[in-house]
Amino acid sequence: MASDLSSFPMPYAVFNLRARSLVRGTVTVLGSLLAAFVLSGFPHAHPAWPIVFPAFTALWGTYETLRCLRLRWSFYHGGVLLLLYMDVMALAMIFFLLLFPYAGWI
Q: Tens of pLDDT along 71-87? A: 899 999 999 999 999 99
Question: Does residue 1 have a pLDDT over 60?
Answer: no
Contact 14, 25 (CB under 8 A): no
Please, what is the average pLDDT of the chain?
Answer: 87
Question: Does residue 9 have a pLDDT over 90?
Answer: no
Residue 98: name the closest of 66, 56, 64, 62 by CA: 56
Q: Please report, for the chain, the start and end positions of each structural domain, with discontinuous segments joined by +.
A: 31-102
Task: Provide the pLDDT confidence category of residue 42 given band limits of 50, 70 and 90.
Answer: confident
Q: What is the pLDDT of residue 89?
A: 97
In order of 4, 70, 75, the CA distances from 78 in angstroms are 40, 10, 5
The pTM is what? 0.82
